């Protein structure tokens, strides 16, 4: 029972990070019907940006407060990653939006390769360690030969994710930008006829997705304590699996899918084999596409005529 409870805590923590990344996939697909395969590398880029900023604040500028440095690095990483995501939309996707359907997909794959190789050239192939932060641990259970623990960083990850998701829900449901996003998702041409600036709405969607990916990147490096230039592919595909499982285009589905993927991965590693935990996530993607292509919360695609 103790092992189950510990893996439940670990799975919710990991799933929170996947859910933040998955929102970027599901927002872009919900509005323009394109899978942004470069989103995983945007997430990877944000981890390096956050690490460099944190080290600059603490070791070069001499900021003594760890909490202040962490917050400043996160905010700056969100801003810079959003800028990268905005440039990606303008340069790689916008002009191909009305092209044949494979053109944006090929461009997204090219952008993914460019970003991963850019970071590889600039930072090298080695793992980059991060300073250990928020290491306090709370013992949930005592005795019995196995203590269930809950670390401060796990609490922080879940709380930050919950607050950001609540804020994003308010943006989507209660603001003019959210109404414009929902209108574009329903019918982009009609939204343009009603006076909505479609290009600006899509750009803001990429900016928000980049900001959430940056937060996920900061939480990822906080949780694992190490980053690598190859960390964009596997977490990106798992987040995409979460978006598909929850129903790509559905924001609640992205979050639920992320939690499910995180739980499945951790329980698989604990009870079956840690060597094949990635296989479990990819098998779920294949099974979902075959047996439940709309996902848990998605709606069947209806062709507009």
> Phi and psi of 144, rounded to 5°?
75, 10
What confidence tens digit (pLDDT) does each residue in 184-232 have?
888 888 888 888 898 899 999 999 989 999 999 999 998 888 888 888 8
Q: Which region among 97-101, 200-204, 234-238 has the lowest average model confidence (pLDDT)?
A: 97-101
Q: What is the mean pLDDT of residues 139-157?
A: 79
Partners of 151 in the β-ladder: 137
> Nearest-CA neighbor of 255 among 16, 27, 30?
16
Give the pLDDT band of residue 81 (cuts 50, 70, 90).
Answer: very high
Q: For residue 305, what pLDDT is reported?
A: 45
Give the pLDDT band of residue 147 (cuts 50, 70, 90).
Answer: confident
Which comes out higher in pLDDT, residue 285 or 238? 238
Instruction: Name the burial class of residue 33, with classes exposed (0-12), middle (13-18) and buried (19+) by CB atoms within 10 angstroms of its CB.
Output: middle
Give Rg (Cα) of the chain.
Answer: 20
pLDDT at 236 over 60: yes
Mean pLDDT of the chain: 85
- 232-256 b/e with 16+ CB inside 10 Å = b? beebbbbbbbbbbbbbbbbbebbbb
Q: What is the mean pLDDT of residues 49-74?
A: 86
Q: For residue 144, what pLDDT is reported?
A: 62
> Nearest-CA neighbor of 103 among 29, 25, 34, 203?
34
Tokens of 117: 């190789």
What confidence tens digit (pLDDT) does each residue in 103-136 have?
888 888 898 999 999 999 988 888 888 888 777 8
pLDDT at 66 over 60: yes
Q: What is the mean pLDDT of residues 68-92?
A: 90
């Amino acid at each position: 029972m103790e092992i189950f409870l510990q893996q439940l805590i670990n799975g919710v923590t990991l799933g929170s990070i996947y859910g933040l990344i998955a929102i970027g996939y599901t927002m872009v697909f919900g509005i323009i019907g394109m899978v942004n395969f470069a989103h995983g590398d945007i997430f990877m880029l944000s981890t390096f940006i956050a690490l460099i900023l944190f080290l600059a604040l603490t070791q070069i500028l001499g900021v003594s407060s760890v909490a202040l440095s962490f917050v400043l690095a996160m905010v700056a990483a969100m801003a810079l990653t959003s800028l990268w995501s905005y440039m990606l939309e303008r340069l790689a996707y916008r002009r191909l939006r009305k092209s044949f359907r494979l053109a944006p997909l090929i461009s997204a794959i090219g952008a993914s390769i460019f970003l991963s190789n850019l970071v590889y050239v600039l930072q090298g192939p080695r793992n980059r360690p991060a300073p250990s932060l928020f290491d306090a641990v709370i013992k949930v259970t005592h005795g019995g030969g196995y203590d269930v623990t809950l670390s401060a960083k796990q609490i922080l990850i879940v709380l930050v994710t919950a607050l950001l998701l609540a804020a994003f829900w308010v943006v989507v449901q209660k603001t003019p930008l959210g109404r414009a996003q929902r209108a574009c998702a329903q019918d982009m041409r009609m939204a343009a006829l009603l006076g909505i600036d479609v290009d600006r709405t899509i750009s803001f969607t990429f900016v928000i997705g980049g900001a959430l990916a940056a937060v996920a990147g900061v939480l990822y490096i906080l949780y694992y304590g190490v980053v690598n230039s190859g960390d964009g592919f596997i977490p990106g595909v798992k987040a995409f699996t979460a978006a598909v499982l929850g129903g790509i285009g559905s924001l609640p589905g992205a979050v639920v899918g992320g939690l499910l993927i995180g739980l499945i991965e951790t329980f698989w590693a604990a009870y079956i084999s840690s060597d094949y935990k990635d296989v479990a996530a990819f098998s779920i993607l294949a099974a979902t596409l075959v047996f439940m292509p709309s996902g848990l919360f998605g709606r069947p695609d209806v062709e507009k005529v």
